[in-house]
Amino acid sequence: MRDIVFIERDPYAPIRHCYTVSKILYQGKSEYQEIQVIESPEFGRMLVLDGVVQVDEKYEFLYHEYIAHVPLFAHPNPENVLIIGGGDGGTLREVLKHDVVKRAVLVDIDRQVIEISKKFFPSLSVGFSDPRAIIVNEDGYKYVQDYENEFDVIIVDSTDPVGFAHVLTTEDFFRFVHRALKEDGVFVAQTESIHYHLEMVRTIQQRLKKVFPIVDLYTSVIPIYAGYWWTFSIASKKHPVRSPVRDVNVETKIYDKEMHEHAFLPTGFYKKLVSGEYKY
């Protein structure tokens, strides 16, 4: 018998991942994007948006634990958290592990991603029923403009910066985020890979540096994202971010104090990367 395969259509990657598929569980189109749920013998269920794999069941923690716990543990008291994107629920699940969190607002433009996740990804979508979670279906770029001095942590867990996600990497957006954060707020965004998206990483870092006094970069290795050496750009109004400032008291698979500190690039290499001295 021949394998059924799914070939990814990633607009930003110079290679295409090809996955063996055991079942196609869902195929449809929302107002915003094509949505598929496929099952792979190796990776479990996978959520695919516009031909790009967003989440797999096997390795998702390598992304969600890093995007959530690094900014939350860099903040002494993250009571109010805003997640932009993240419709699969994985980041929300990790954020809600923090007892100090009183309110987590998740703003995903596409209501259907949330519904699909509730149906096909119960291990990711557990947080949607938590009383501290508030779900909004709106463009995060517009949503954040209505707030000033409101959130302790803002997380951008979006699709690749094309189409309606592109605005979430602009300097304008970073200025709105800065205003929406409290005076000691922390911001983080997934910012693609060092290998295949170096120019994009650098541009985002330079834009953040125009707006925030503290800007840094940390990474995780994620098998399903082309380029693998995945970056998270973090910016802070006041607190240093390279170490947790609270006891790591949440249950995780990989994140802990040591992993937090090791996730940051050595400062010499970080400077070379942002200045452009490091190139391929």
Q: Which positions touch ligand SAM (CB under 6 A)? A: 54-55, 63, 84-88, 107-110, 113, 139-141, 157-159, 164-165, 167-168, 190
Minimum CB–partner distance for residue 153 and ligand SAM (Å): 17
The answer to whether 157 is a known catalytic residue is yes
For ligand SAM, the closer CB: 31 or 183: 31
Cβ distance to ligand SAM smaller for residue 63 or 176: 63
Using an 8 Å Cβ cutoff, are 62 and 233 in contact?
no
Nearest distance from C-beta of residue 190 to ligand SAM, angstroms: 5
In angstroms, rounded to a whole number, what is the distance separating the alpha carbons of residues 273 and 279?
8
- Per this entry, what is the length of the chain? 280
One of 157, 160, 172, 216 is an active-site residue; which one? Answer: 157
Q: Which residue has the tokens 């463009």?
A: 139
Please report how close the Cβ of residue 37 comes to ligand SAM at its closest, in angstroms. 12
- Residue number with the smallest Cβ distance to ligand SAM: 85
Closer Cβ to ligand SAM, 68 or 250, answer by number = 68
**DSSP state, 228?**
S
Distance CA 10, CA 17 (A): 9
Smallest distance from ligand SAM to CB 142, Å:
8
Q: Which is nearer to ligand SAM, 51 or 132 (CB)?
A: 51
Strand partners, 231: 219
DSSP 264: B
Beta bridge partners of 260: none
Cα separation, 254 vs 42, whole angstroms:
20
Rg (CA), the chain: 18
Q: Which residues are catalytic?
A: 157
